[in-house]
Amino acid sequence: MTAALVQLTAAQAGARVRARELDPRELFEAYRQRAATDELNAFTWVAEAPAAAGPSPADAPLGGVPVAVKDLFCTEGVPSQAGSRILEGYRPPYSATVVERLTRAGAPLLGKTNQDEFAMGSSTENSGFGPARNPWDRARVPGGSSGGSAAAVAAGLAPWAIGTDTGGSIRQPAALCGVVGFKPTYGACSRYGMIAFASSLDQAGPLTRDVTDAALLFGQMVGRDPRDSTSLKFPEPVRLPHADSLRGFRLGIPEELTGTEGGVEPGVRDAFDRSLELAEKLGAAIEPCRLPHAPHALSAYYLIAPAEASANLARFDGVRYGLRVDGEADLLTMYSRTRAAGFGLEVKRRIMLGTYALSSGYYEAYYGTAQKVRTRIAQDLHAVFERFDLIATPTSPWTAFELGAKLGDPLQMYLNDFCTVPMSLAGIPAISIPCGLSDGLPVGFQLAGPAFSENRLFEAAFALERAIGYDGSPARG
């Protein structure tokens, strides 16, 4: 029974609950047990039971289908540690807006998922609570930073999950684990209660088994929040996709982000090309296009994001919450000892980078220039969307790599975001769907569109997903 239950997509399970054919408590318990016996280190905390608050599942839009939530979303009374030892055991007094919305829509909290510390990483190896594993091959990483969410959905430990994407942190782990990952338009979902990495880039989004689940979950996350000044009213209702063709879609293929000379593995490129052929058969008009500034996106990103992070992480000072390592009566010593003990290597590296980039005398050369590059990239994309409805790239240049393979080489690790960072800098929506396997490991196909083109994006991804016919069940064994 349990095995059959977890084969259902979230939308299917929710529909059965709403039709009174499935007891939501049974559904919750099935997943709770799987999550509690997680061998992937995908979870950092698992609920005992659905929270008492919340609507009657059978009458709620999400039908009582439990959701796994990335650790960095604040959840009232529940450990919210952002993958960091500096917040070990921290239980916030309030919940993130997105979590509240999902609870109200009938998706109770299943558990908190592992992540790279403060979302800084592409492998979940930077977690203060040990790395998460990829269900396709446990010697390999699940990607990151939302690696716990991606692994949990891929392995059927959770029906669906939410994560955050700053430079690719939803899309890349979704690609490496063979699930759908969607990064919305910047501002579509409230950031209130998300422990910040880089405020101008962070965005919450779903990780799901298919595109329908992504649209369904996103539809309940979206909306202007008076507590987040950068959130926006979504201009139209979010629709569940139904398209069975891509007729009328003009699809641009940016040369700069797809060439093997840019580091895309041949196996990844092959799977990508096969999907493009399918798209063409579905009626899409496919043409190459140019994003001349895209190759500089990674450099700009690794100045802007650490600069913002250096300020965002200043609050972890041992004064009010989280870890404190006392100094001998000296404030500065307490600060340095606390932060030295609480932050991991990558976090320290980025705080140093960001602090340097903002320092007097360097600001214009680094932060200022990076912002100009960011503007150029947004202009490039804007120009491309004059001619194309969407663009497509591989999500990640490669498939899941072995644990430790890139840990000693930060620049190699940063290249994980090569294809995903331009969309983050421009604030536009992008989705990664599984498009097949390369050497037995999943490959991600990324589609991106102009701001607020979510509905179009879901339609295209849905049609393509059906044509690809990807079967993720090996990972859910």
Nearest to 119 by CA among 217, 202, 205: 202
CB within 8 Å of 44: residues ≥ 6 apart: 71, 79, 81, 83, 111, 112, 113, 114, 129, 148
Contact 206, 76 (CB under 8 A): no
Residue 70 among the catalytic residues: yes
Sole binder of another protein in the list 33, 37, 56, 363 (CB under 8 A): 363
Indicate whether 172 belongs to the interface with another protein (CB under 8 A): no
Sole binder of another protein in the list 311, 325, 378, 405 (CB under 8 A): 311
Half-sphere CA count of 276, side-chain side, radius 13 A: 22
Indicate whether 90 belongs to the interface with another protein (CB under 8 A): yes
Indicate whether 359 belongs to the interface with another protein (CB under 8 A): yes
Indicate whether 96 belongs to the interface with another protein (CB under 8 A): yes
Sole binder of another protein in the list 12, 41, 80, 396 (CB under 8 A): 80
Indicate whether 321 belongs to the interface with another protein (CB under 8 A): yes
CB of 318 to another protein, least distance (A): 10
Indicate whether 466 belongs to the interface with another protein (CB under 8 A): no
Indicate whether 314 belongs to the interface with another protein (CB under 8 A): yes
Sole binder of another protein in the list 25, 51, 79, 94 (CB under 8 A): 94
Q: Which two tokens stand for residue 271?
A: 């799977």
Indicate whether 230 belongs to the interface with another protein (CB under 8 A): yes
Selected catalytic residue, list 127, 145, 149, 432: 145
CB of 196 to another protein, least distance (A): 7
Which residue reads 């496919």 in tokens? 286
Collapse the DSSP code of 29 into the 3-class scheme (helix H, G, I; strand E, B; otherwise coil) and give the result: helix
Separation between Cα atoms, residue 246 and residue 282, nearest integer Å: 5
Q: Which is nearer to another protein, 248 or 363 (CB)?
A: 363
Q: Which is nearer to another protein, 260 or 359 (CB)?
A: 359
Distance of CA 59 to the CA centre of its chain: 29
Nearest to 107 by CA among 173, 31, 39: 31
Nearest to 273 by CA among 404, 466, 461, 436: 436
Neighbours of 446 (CB within 10 A): 29
Nearest to 323 by CA among 47, 131, 74, 128: 128
423, amino acid identity: M
Q: Which is nearer to another protein, 25 or 324 (CB)?
A: 324
Distances (CA, A) of 264 to 251, 461, 475: 20, 21, 24
CB of 5 to another protein, least distance (A): 33
Separation between Cα atoms, residue 323 and residue 292, nearest integer Å: 45
Torsion of Cα atoms, 245 then 250 then 252 then 253, to 10°: 30
Residue 169 among the catalytic residues: yes
Sole binder of another protein in the list 14, 83, 92, 205 (CB under 8 A): 92
Q: Which is nearer to another protein, 355 or 412 (CB)?
A: 355
189-218 positions binding another protein, by CB under 8 A: 191-196, 198-200
Contact 58, 14 (CB under 8 A): no
CB of 231 to another protein, least distance (A): 9
x/- map, 1-40, another protein, by CB under 8 A = ----------------------------------------
Sole binder of another protein in the list 23, 317, 324, 405 (CB under 8 A): 317
Sole binder of another protein in the list 19, 319, 340, 365 (CB under 8 A): 319
Nearest to 127 by CA among 145, 109, 139: 145
How many residues of this chain bind another protein (CB under 8 A)? Answer: 45
Indicate whether 87 belongs to the interface with another protein (CB under 8 A): yes
Neighbours of 399 (CB within 10 A): 25
Indicate whether 353 belongs to the interface with another protein (CB under 8 A): no
Sole binder of another protein in the list 42, 82, 214, 246 (CB under 8 A): 82
Stretch that binds another protein, among 60-68, 165-173, 187-195, 466-474 (CB under 8 A): 187-195
Neighbours of 320 (CB within 10 A): 8
Sole binder of another protein in the list 335, 385, 388, 445 (CB under 8 A): 335
Indicate whether 229 belongs to the interface with another protein (CB under 8 A): yes
Q: Please report how the helices 266-281 and 454-468 are oriented relative to each other, as an axis angle in degrees rounded to 10.
A: 100
- Binding residues for another protein (CB under 8 A): 72-74, 80, 82, 87, 90, 92-94, 96, 191-196, 198-200, 226-230, 307-308, 310-311, 313-317, 319-321, 331, 335, 355, 358-360, 363, 367
State the catalytic residues.
Answer: 70, 145, 169
